[in-house]
Structure 1
Amino acid sequence: MSPNKMEPLQLQPNIGVYFSANDHVYDWAIAFLNSFRTFNPDLRLVLIPFNETCDRLFALQTQYNFELYIDPSFSQLEAIGQALELGHTPTGPYWFRRYAAFWGKLDRFLYLDTRQVVLADLIPLITALDEFEFDFLHYDCAIDQVYQAGKFRQNLLLKSKGRGFLSGLWASKKGLFSLEEFEEFAVQALEIRDRLNPRNTDQAFINYCCDMKPVRYGHFAEVLGGICQNAWARQSGHIYRENNKYYRWDYGGLDHKKQVVLIHWAGYKWDDFLPHNWILISFMGNSKMLYWLEYIGRLIVKAPHLLLKKLISQQHINFAYHYIKGRIKQ
């Protein structure tokens, strides 16, 4: 990427990052904020409150230098989420608040969920929008988490659409969508709700909007090169640090020795046995030792369950387990 192209955007105050969180994910937020400011000390950071339970989080505003973005459209966005929700995720409608970013404070922005850590300078991910002439850039893809198999999905794929990107980390531009457009797309989406993933409502919705508009969107790794294809924590290989950068070692794999920009623990709970937990805890600041002790205690308590789960996951043992379980039920 040309430094001459990057520098003017880097100095503009309307380039930055939105993140969403509340007090329920406070521990995740601490790790996220520490990692973000380690690699992006001056980049503008804006919190979109996930819901009204954010008092502890708001108290961190000065320490980590982030702004608040509260918009009257939150209730209307939540109403879209509620209309599309099938009852699987009670908090699902709150995820739709993130889409107020399209008419928010920043002209070029990255959106990040809080259950991740930042391991690199994020400005190249934002400036890539203009440098490579994209409207929207994303990371991981999992089409089954967005569209149901069938004719609708097939038709999208035939038109080179329907990538099925995940909604936890992406970059875009102010004005790409309006609230009125979202409300119109919501009406359309309700008509084909059975062709969208039943659980990941906000994720299916933003994909649907990008595919219907249509939007020029692409994958960060494919556009930029040299960075890992996936940010989700559950990937093969391991992560190592070299010259203050993080890389994935996965000999023979597609991401071998490529840079890790973000690690995303989507779908995990804080008290799970987390992959790459050492990286997460390394960004817990003064509480690092406390969290290591908590993690060791958790590992001891859960060790028998983890061992049983590992054994059951083996093909022949898994078959025998379910066969015996089925016989017992009879």
Structure 2
Amino acid sequence: MTRGIYIIANDKVTDQAIALLNSIRLHDTDTPIVMIPYDENYHHIADTLKQYYGVQVYEDLEFIDYLSHKLHETFGTQFFARPNQFRKQACWFGPFDEFLYIDTDIVVFEKIIDNLNYLANADFIYCDYQHLGGIKNVFSPQVLEDKVFNENEIQDIFNGGFWGSKKNLISVDDLFASFAESAAHPEYFDFSEKTSDQPIINYMLLKRIPRRFNIVRREGKAPGNWAGSPHFQAENHLLFDPTVNQPLQYLHWAGIRIQPGCPYWEIWDYYRHLNPALPAAVIPTPVKQNQWQKAINSIKNQLRQLKTN
């Protein structure tokens, strides 16, 4: 049985990908990693990640193009903010029998592949507190009103940036059937904040994979991992969650621009520059906000924090 990690990237996220790979390889020099190209502009990052971290490009690029074509054929061109996010679904058909998928706006603090051990008793794993915020950014209340899902089932919604499963557990037919069912009922989904693949993939998970496990429900609970949570404590380039008295497994800047002044910037900056053989990151100067914008962002962060508590 082979285990490995998938990421999705292009040249635009080179610095984020380097930070992620530095953090993975700090704890694990052996696990194979495959990059799924986000678009056609991926050759520079592919060369860098192969040279320094042994990352391979997904072999069947024709299938990825087919997947993208089928998505557009089913939904049209205006349905999603970032339709290329769906390319990550090529994970189901790649070389690994068991796999983790990890977004590039993440850094990890442990040998992250070991989380696949939870697949001994489940078919799909994830690790977040998305469900505590309700169904926002995934479903609309219509899914409950029409009894598409019940209250217990929607407790299993997840963030699509970190998850693991087994090869061919979802077939091509399953994937495209999920597309078709979702396209027929756009009223079931919440795209108000320009999420892309997350609502549809949650729909597929709840409909087609009954043996699922959220790692934060393990015995003794688990730490948070969203960079919008202000209570994590930094020590020796790691983070600690005092609410569960545990170190973080990983940190995810979901919905947050990674730049100087962002939450836990020093953590990201440390991992980005962990490999001295690579040039320093090209970091854009943050756009200055007026007092009104700062007030709005402060309220948004407070609301997000309430959802994660």
**TM-score bucket of the superposed structures, by smaller chain:** 0.7 to 0.9
Among candidates 152, 160, 171, match of residue 152 of structure 2: 160
Contact 2:227 2:252 in 1 (8 A): yes
1:234 aligns with 2:218: no
1:155 counterpart SS class = coil
Percent identical: 24
The letter for the 1-side match of 2:84 is: Y
Larger Rg: 1
Question: Paired residue for 1:4?
Answer: none
Question: Paired residue for 1:321?
Answer: none
Question: Paired residue for 2:75?
Answer: 84
1:139 aligns with 2:127: yes
The letter for the 2-side match of 1:79 is: H
TM-superposed CA distance for 1:226, in Å, is 5.0
Deviations 1:141-170 (A, max 9, x none): 252111111254673552621232111110
1:156/1:121 CA distance change after superposition, 3 Å: farther
TM-superposed CA distance for 1:113, in Å, is 0.7
Among candidates 88, 108, 114, match of residue 118 of structure 1: 108
Question: Paired residue for 1:170?
Answer: 163
Question: Paired residue for 1:281?
Answer: 269
TM-superposed CA distance for 1:56, in Å, is 1.3
Question: Paired residue for 2:58?
Answer: 69
Root mean square deviation, CA, Å? 2.8
1:89/1:174 CA distance change after superposition, 3 Å: same
Normalising by structure 1, what TM-score?
A: 0.77
Higher RCO, 1 vs 2 (CA within 8 Å, ≥6 residues apart): 2
Question: Paired residue for 1:46?
Answer: 34
1:109 aligns with 2:109: no
Question: Paired residue for 1:309?
Answer: 293
TM-superposed CA distance for 1:311, in Å, is 4.2
Gaps of 5+ in 1: 1-11, 250-254, 316-330
Q: How many residues align?
A: 287
1:110 counterpart SS class = strand
Normalising by structure 2, what TM-score?
A: 0.82
Using the alignment, how far apart are the partners of 2:297 and 2:218 within structure 1? Answer: 36
Gaps of 5+ in 2: 300-309
TM-superposed CA distance for 1:264, in Å, is 0.8
Using the alignment, how far apart are the partners of 2:38 and 2:235 within structure 1? Answer: 32
1:100 counterpart SS class = helix
TM-superposed CA distance for 1:287, in Å, is 8.6
Question: Paired residue for 2:212?
Answer: 217
Contact 1:49 1:70 in 2 (8 A): no
1:59 counterpart SS class = helix
Equivalent runs, 1:258-297 vs 2, <5 Å: 258-271=246-259, 273-285=261-273, 286=276
Question: Paired residue for 2:172?
Answer: 179
1:16/1:56 CA distance change after superposition, 3 Å: same
Contact 2:143 2:149 in 1 (8 A): no
Deviations 1:198-220 (A, max 9, x none): 33231111111111124311211
1:158 counterpart SS class = coil
